[in-house]
């Protein structure tokens, strides 16, 4: 399967089954429209009139070069992965989203967690549940050494005592079990203070900081309980936290925006966050019911695509105040392993989420959906059937994914979005697919541009 596109002035071709990426001249780029596997050493004699703009010698040489790529299995490659898809098995649990708070001190309109309570009561996880989560991970991780736990909510800083108690407990027993816990936290920053900043920068290997960008963007939809500006409260605290990390030579953080129909010019939000001093940036599209006034719909895609093009151009041409954009990051040299290519998300298999009552779900977006409850930390139950289902949920079991050029970068997309908005974990969310493919084109173009300029 071959996908071709133009970005940043390059003619880019990706052979999706080998993941080979090529930059081609106009003749080769045009010729690909008329070629397919199997290629023969003899050039076809019925190439179309469109190629007559190139000299006969150029056409012959170009065909020879394309045929060489075909022989080297870098063009029109056969899919080597599908035959392994049925061997996908359950994996030990290696990571957890610990919802220490089903409550929040903000009321963001777009929140997938229904402003923090996940559709239930507002509550805080007691430290005892956090400790049981550590015991669960040690037991279910089998021989895995590195274990990841993300403190999430709601707003996890509202459960700060539980956060600290959980980390302290893990540190006190990890070595005797041959484990290494890696903690992360996602926060809106309202409750940050010097003590919490120091602790996070010491104990958390990564931190996600929620800020929607410009003041007007943030304050329009990221509501505080008393109606005051969240922007004014959050920004100075985020700057202090990030300064502490960067002064220590660390770049393991993201300032994460969410863009909606209200700010389709989200490049301005990204650039604003860079002007605030942040270098690791993300802007996630809202995924919600299309009936919501701020929802992104298919009619918004051309506008969003042009915005991604704009951001891509800016990043390629910037010589100062550079920044990383999460969705434009791709490694052309060392891609994911075979399992990651087939099943990018560990949801329900090697990744689970736990609510404040100790109930276990496949991921944070499934929390509160009773049919997906996998068990409980309190009674020791764990539904192996759900785990098996997600182990077998991969790009070849998902509708249409095997025929998509982006399959080995996307690996089937988000299972929760598929279930919530398409009614089936194995039916990809169409809007998310369109956005993912466009972002990948920009990411590949930036990787090409960097390689060309070296």
226-259 b/e with 16+ CB inside 10 Å = b? eeeebbebbbebbeebbebbeeeeeeebbbbbbb
Alpha carbons 251 and 270: distance in angstroms, whole number: 17
- The secondary structure of 403-423 as a DSSP string is G-TTHHHHTT--HHHHHHHHS
Q: What is the pLDDT of residues 139-160, one digit of tens each?
A: 999 999 999 999 999 999 999 9
Cβ-contact 204, 184 below 8 angstroms: yes
Alpha carbons 121 and 98: distance in angstroms, whole number: 17
381-394 b/e with 16+ CB inside 10 Å = b? ebeeebbebbbbbb
> By three-state DSSP, how is residue 36 classified?
coil
Cis peptide before 159 (omega within 30 of 0): no
Mean pLDDT of 327-331: 89
What is the token pair recorded at 181?
A: 């816990």
Q: Is the dihedral of CA 135, 141, 143, 144 positive or negative?
A: negative
Mean pLDDT of 313-338: 86
For residue 356, the model assigns a pLDDT of 97
For residue 222, the model assigns a pLDDT of 87
For residue 343, the model assigns a pLDDT of 67
Q: What is the pLDDT of residues 203-229, one digit of tens each?
A: 999 999 999 999 999 999 888 888 788
- pLDDT above 90: residue 353: yes
CA 181, chain centre distance (Å): 22
Largest CA distance in the chain: 76
Per DSSP, 79 falls in state: P
> By three-state DSSP, how is residue 319 classified?
coil
- pLDDT above 70: residue 338: no
- pLDDT above 90: residue 48: no
For residue 224, the model assigns a pLDDT of 85
Query: What is the chain's percent helix, strand, coil content, to nearest 5?
Result: 45, 15, 40
Strands (DSSP E) contained in 24-158 are: 95-99, 101-102, 123-124, 146-152
How close are the terminal C-alpha atoms of the chain, in Å?
29
Strand partners, 205: none
For residue 261, the model assigns a pLDDT of 95
Alpha carbons 60 and 13: distance in angstroms, whole number: 20
- Pair type for strands 146-152 and 95-99: parallel
Q: How confident is the model at residue 292 (pLDDT cuts 50, 70, 90)?
A: very high
Q: How confident is the model at residue 162 (pLDDT cuts 50, 70, 90)?
A: very high
The residue to which tokens 């895609």 are assigned:
301
Strands (DSSP E) contained in 159-225 are: 180-187, 204-210
For residue 154, the model assigns a pLDDT of 92
């Amino acid at each position: 399967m071959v996908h071709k596109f133009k970005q940043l002035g390059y003619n880019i071709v990706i052979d999706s089954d080998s993941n080979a990426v090529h930059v081609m001249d106009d003749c080769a780029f045009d010729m690909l429209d008329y070629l397919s596997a199997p290629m023969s050493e003899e050039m076809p004699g019925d190439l179309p009139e469109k190629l007559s703009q190139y000299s006969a010698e150029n056409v012959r040489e170009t065909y020879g070069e394309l045929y060489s790529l075909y022989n080297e299995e870098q063009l029109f490659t056969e899919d080597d992965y599908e035959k392994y898809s049925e061997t996908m098995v359950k994996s030990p649990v290696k990571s957890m989203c610990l919802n220490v708070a089903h409550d929040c001190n903000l009321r963001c309109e777009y929140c997938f967690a229904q402003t923090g309570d996940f559709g239930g009561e507002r509550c805080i996880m007691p430290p005892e549940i956090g400790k049981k989560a550590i015991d669960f991970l040690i037991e279910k991780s089998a021989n895995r050494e590195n274990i990841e736990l993300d403190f999430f909510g709601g707003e996890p800083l509202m459960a700060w005592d539980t956060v600290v108690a959980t980390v302290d407990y893990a540190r006190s027993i990890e070595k005797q079990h041959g484990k290494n816990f890696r903690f992360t936290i996602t926060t809106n920053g309202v409750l940050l203070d010097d003590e919490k900043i120091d602790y996070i920068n010491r104990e958390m290997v990564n931190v996600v900081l929620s800020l929607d960008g410009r003041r007007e963007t943030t304050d329009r939809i990221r509501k505080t309980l008393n109606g005051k500006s969240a922007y004014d409260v959050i920004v100075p605290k985020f700057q202090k936290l990030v300064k502490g990390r960067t002064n220590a030579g660390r770049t393991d953080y993201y300032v994460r925006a969410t863009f909606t129909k209200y700010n389709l010019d989200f490049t301005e939000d990204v650039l604003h966050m860079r002007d605030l001093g942040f270098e690791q940036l993300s802007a996630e599209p809202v995924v919600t019911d299309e009936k919501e006034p701020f929802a992104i719909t298919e009619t918004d895609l051309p506008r969003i695509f042009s915005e991604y093009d704009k951001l891509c151009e800016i990043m390629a041409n910037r010589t100062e105040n550079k920044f990383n954009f999460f969705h434009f990051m791709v490694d052309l040299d060392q891609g994911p392993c075979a399992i990651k290519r087939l099943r990018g998300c560990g949801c329900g298999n090697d990744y689970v989420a736990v609510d404040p009552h100790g109930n276990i779900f496949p991921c944070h977006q499934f929390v509160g959906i009773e049919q997906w409850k996998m068990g409980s930390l309190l009674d020791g139950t764990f539904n192996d059937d759900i785990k098996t289902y997600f182990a077998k949920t991969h790009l070849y079991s998902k509708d249409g994914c095997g025929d998509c050029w982006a399959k080995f970068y996307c690996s089937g997309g988000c299972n929760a979005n598929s279930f919530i908005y398409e009614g089936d974990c194995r039916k990809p969310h169409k809007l998310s697919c369109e956005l993912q493919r466009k972002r990948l084109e920009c990411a590949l173009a930036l990787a090409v541009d960097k390689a060309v300029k070296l």
